[in-house]
Structure 1
């Protein structure tokens, strides 16, 4: 396992909300990141689909990990998500990559797939701007 992946997993474990959802960092390397989540009942909305907020969490965090892989410590400056179909299945995977990066800002894209019976279905697509932060500065 890489040092970057180990560091990323430690950061994820320090996030109470990520632990609550059961998120896992499965890939973290320069320019890309993957977060996965095994779907449980508490992730679903009233129709049985995974709640859009869970998908937004996966997009936000995976975009920030991808940006952070090239910028260092960072935060999401903004992101947009398109839900392409209802999310159903056993597992969700958010695959993010850096599309463009400078010294302080990276634009990243993310595709979220739902895995059901061995098949992948794209359920959301997101894009975000990730900004580098410096310790002690806002």
Structure 2
């Protein structure tokens, strides 16, 4: 499908380039960049993304908007789920908000929960710089693995 892109780290000679490939993938995410997100780290099945809270992230209560929190989690989820070199697209995602975030830096840590040939699931925990749990996100992706050749 045009426009889809993963890290393609499974290609020969790319085993040591997880971070570099992830940074290229992340650089193409204009929305994440506009939101002020930064890639902290990535490894197969895991990713950490940070976001310094800006006034533009606030809702009418003065706390971080739920959409900004969901986006932060979704970006970490996308990085973790595409880290195996196979294009992965979200098919389900949900978030539970635990407490309001107001100031400082938020950290989203995505971790793979289960992985098979076609599906993978992830949990993303968002914490603030005081290590308070702000939200828990769960997501599942469809992995576009190559179809096996037909047996004649």
- TM-score bracket for the superposition, by shorter chain length: 0.7 to 0.9
Which runs of no fewer than 5 residues in structure 1 stay unpaired? Answer: none
Aligned residue for 2:142, secondary structure, equals: strand
Mapped pair 1:89 → 2:95: no
Structure with the largest fraction of helix: 1
Higher strand share: 1
Counterpart in the other structure of 1:28: 42
Q: Cα RMSD between the aligned structures?
A: 1.6
1:120 aligns to what SS in structure 2? coil
Tell me which stretches of 4 or more aligned residues in structure 1 moved more than 6 Å.
none
**What is the aligned partner in structure 2 of residue 132 from structure 1?**
143
- Offset, 1:134: 6.2
Compare CA radii of gyration and give the structure with the larger one.
Answer: 2
Aligned counterpart, 1:16: 30
Q: Give SS of 1:65's match.
A: helix
Q: TM-score, normalised by structure 1?
A: 0.88
Report how many aligned residue pairs link the two structures. Answer: 131
TM-score under structure 2 length normalisation: 0.80
